[in-house]
Amino acid sequence: MMRRALDRAAKGLWTTTPNPRVGCVVTRGDEVIGEGWHEKAGGPHAEVRALENVDAEGATVYVTLEPCGHTGRTPPCVDLLARKKVSRVVAAMRDPNPQAGGGGERLQAAGIAFEHGLLESEARELNIGFVSRMTRRRPWVRLKVAATLDGRTALEDGRSQWITGPEARRDGHEWRARACAILTGIGTVKADNPQLTVREVQTPRQPLRVIIDSRLETPHDARILQGERVLVFAAREGRLPNAEVVVLPNAKGKVELPRMLEALADRGINELHVEAGFRLNGSLVREGCVDEFLVYLNPSFLGDAAQGMLDLPAPAGLGARLKLRLISTAQLGGDLRLLARPA
């Protein structure tokens, strides 16, 4: 039943931002009598959808996130569960939002049995960005790289379209679609003139587009400045068309990256998808801003003159190298996708 609830929660993968993805299944014995999921911020919570037109007295409710006990855009779900006279609530995980906590205790106070921890790791993975924003005040940062087998991501002049095949590019757009925001740097804007939008898959909304441009060098006719408004982080005051400029300088005249992540969290960004060049990639890694690497490898070589994945200093020895933990692998057409996190 909890796996069914997780499947329902995943239906909101691209739409719930900045809210968590939540699914709910209501049962009486082995029979499912109601189910639902949270679709978008401001809309009914999963429990509300699952309990619509359902006689739930004495029922068991499986929900992927602890029912909320506070009033936000919608009333507390614990009150609804009490009115419906359910007998038991099983949550996959507790709510990391300090404002929403205590739902389980309120259920117990109302005489409803409350348990949590069933398939907790799967529920956390589904809401890894929401948990990050609630507990660390920063989004979960996923750095996407497309490279050859010798680790090259672009020609010497910065051109990188296209290293991987259509299947890998489509998969990359699916990862874009689940993110709350997509980030790139001025180097990629100049070299590739990207749109930085989701195009290869249908999506009900476009993620926020973000540029790191310390000196505000983005050409005014750049494709990324077309369409929905863009957020630009800079190191000095200035303006760009169709853009909001946020000035966050560090001591070196660049953008202060950790503060940028805090600013994005304050805007409700749960998952940040990065598609940038090797210099910005390296800066993000050096400053501890990357949580996950999404790497697409193409069976080809570009040679030493081409650009690499990350601009990192050479380690003092093999033991000091950046080590990763492999999460998953998949073959997409002729390319290989690796998902890895710092070990």
Tens digits of residue pLDDT in 316-332: 888 888 899 999 999 99
Closest CA to 196 of 215, 173, 220, 217: 173
What pLDDT, on a 0 to 100 scale, did the predictor assign at position 318? 87
What pLDDT, on a 0 to 100 scale, did the predictor assign at position 102? 83
Tens digits of residue pLDDT in 242-299: 999 999 999 999 999 999 999 999 999 999 999 999 899 999 999 999 999 999 999 9
Dihedral sign for Cα 294, 299, 300, 303, please: positive
CATH number of 137-342: 3.40.430.10
Which range (10-14, 149-153, 224-228) has the least confidence?
A: 149-153
What pLDDT, on a 0 to 100 scale, did the predictor assign at position 100? 73
Tokens representing 188 are 């990629």
- Residue-level length of the chain: 343
What pLDDT, on a 0 to 100 scale, did the predictor assign at position 71? 65
Closest CA to 80 of 100, 103, 105, 113: 103
Residue 302 confidence (pLDDT) above 90? no
Which residues are paired to 88 by β-bridges? Answer: 60, 113
Render the burial of 21-59: b for 16+ CB within 10 Å, e for the rest: bbbbbbbbeeeebbbbbbbeeeebbbbbbbbeebebeeb
Residue 55 confidence (pLDDT) above 80? yes
**DSSP codes, 278-334:** HHHHHHHHHTT---EEEEEEES----TTSEES---PPPSSGGGS--EEEEEEEEETT
Mean pLDDT of the chain: 93
Which residues are paired to 143 by β-bridges? Answer: 274, 293
Q: Please, which pLDDT band fits residue 159 given cuts at 50, 70 and 90?
A: low
- CB under 8 Å to 278, separation ≥6 — which residues? 153, 154, 307, 308, 309, 310, 311
Closest CA to 188 of 152, 160, 229, 226: 160
Q: What is the pTM of this model?
A: 0.92
> In what order do the strands lie in the sheet containing 230-234?
243-247, 230-234, 208-212, 181-185, 271-274, 140-148, 292-298, 335-342, 324-332
CA 293 – CA 336 distance, rounded (Å): 13
Task: Give domain limits for the chain.
Answer: 2-126, 137-342
Does residue 162 have a cis peptide bond before it, meaning omega lies within 30 degrees of 0?
yes
Residue 70 confidence (pLDDT) above 70? no
Please answer whether residues 240 and 228 qualify as being in contact, where contact means their C-beta atoms are separated by less than 8 angstroms: no
Q: Please, which pLDDT band fits residue 41 given cuts at 50, 70 and 90?
A: confident
Please answer whether residues 259 and 117 qualify as being in contact, where contact means their C-beta atoms are separated by less than 8 angstroms: no
* Record: fold of 2-126: Cytidine Deaminase; domain 2 (3.40.140)
Give the active site residues. 47
What pLDDT, on a 0 to 100 scale, did the predictor assign at position 309? 86
Average pLDDT over residues 180-186: 97
